[in-house]
Amino acid sequence: MIIAMPIWIIAVYSAYQGLRLVFASENNEMNLIKTNIFKRTRHPAYLGSLLIYFGLCISTLSLISFALLIPIFLIYNRFVDYEEKQLIKQFDDEYIAFMRITPKWRIKFRIK
CA–CA gap between residue 44 and residue 58 (Å, rounded)? 20
Cβ burial, residue 30 (10 Å; 0-12/13-18/19+): exposed
What pLDDT is attached to residue 13?
A: 79
CA–CA gap between residue 62 and residue 6 (Å, rounded)? 19
Residue pair 11/49 in contact (Cβ under 8 Å)? The answer is yes
Q: Per residue in 59-93, is it b (16+ CB within 10 Å) or e — as a string? A: beeeeebeeeeeeeeeebeeebeeebeebeeeeee
What pLDDT is attached to residue 64?
A: 93
Helix (H, G, I), strand (E, B) or coil at 23: coil
What pLDDT is attached to residue 4?
A: 73
Model-wide pTM > 0.85 = no
Which of 99, 94, 61, 107 lies closest to 81 in space, CA to CA?
99
- Give tens-digit pLDDT for 23-82: 665 655 678 888 888 899 999 999 999 998 998 898 889 999 999 999 999 999 999 999
Residue pair 105/42 in contact (Cβ under 8 Å)? The answer is no
What pLDDT is attached to residue 28?
A: 59
